[in-house]
């Protein structure tokens, strides 16, 4: 099993876990104590199948249930990567307006991840690949400066 942690500036930390059987899941630990569990497809590690939001109390209860009696420390590695968080506005001119998020292939093409979509009706954390983007949305992306700049160009269609 491998565990990687990545700082998400302004949000918290993301922990990516790959089990010995090859399954990928992640935990996004927000600074305010909220947690989001993400489960990824076996055939596409970039495609999140489902997310489960947890408040502080729910996360603590789950941790207590999952923790082995001896609390062994599994191998982890800290990644010192200079990540940035940006908001990318979607205009009606974007080639992805009306398209599913998966059509952007954001993470595969740029290494940047779209971690939320802000819409007039509210925020959508951890949107799945089938989530339809609309003109007027604001995409919240995390990645290297180069990755999010490239993603901004891709979303704009330039």
pLDDT at 156: 94
pLDDT at 73: 44
Beta bridge partners of 15: 5, 27
Residue numbers of the chain with a pLDDT score lower than 50:
71-76
pLDDT at 80: 61
pLDDT at 15: 87
Strands 122-125 and 113-119: what pairing?
A: antiparallel
Cα-Cα-Cα-Cα dihedral sign, residues 88, 124, 54, 112: negative
Alpha carbon distance 30, 55 (integer Å): 10
Nearest to 46 by CA among 111, 1, 96: 111
CB distance 135 to 97 below 8 Å = yes
Strands 48-54 and 113-119: what pairing?
A: unpaired
Q: 3-class DSSP state for residue 18?
A: strand
State pLDDT tens for residues 20-43.
888 888 888 888 888 888 888 877
């Amino acid at each position: 099993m491998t565990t990687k942690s990545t700082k998400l500036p302004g949000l918290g930390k993301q922990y990516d876990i790959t089990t010995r059987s090859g399954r990928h899941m992640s935990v996004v630990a927000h600074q305010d104590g909220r947690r989001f569990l993400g489960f990824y497809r076996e055939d596409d590690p970039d495609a999140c199948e489902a997310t489960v939001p947890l408040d502080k109390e729910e996360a603590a209860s789950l941790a207590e249930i999952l923790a082995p009696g001896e609390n062994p420390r599994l191998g982890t590695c800290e990644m010192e990567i200079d990540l940035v968080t940006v908001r990318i506005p979607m205009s009606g001119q974007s080639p992805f307006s009306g398209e599913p998020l998966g059509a952007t292939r954001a993470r595969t093409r740029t290494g940047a991840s779209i971690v939320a979509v802000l819409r007039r009706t509210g925020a959508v954390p951890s949107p799945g690949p089938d989530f339809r983007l609309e003109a007027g949305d604001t995409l919240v992306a995390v990645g290297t400066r180069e990755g999010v700049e490239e993603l901004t160009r891709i979303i704009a269609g330039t």
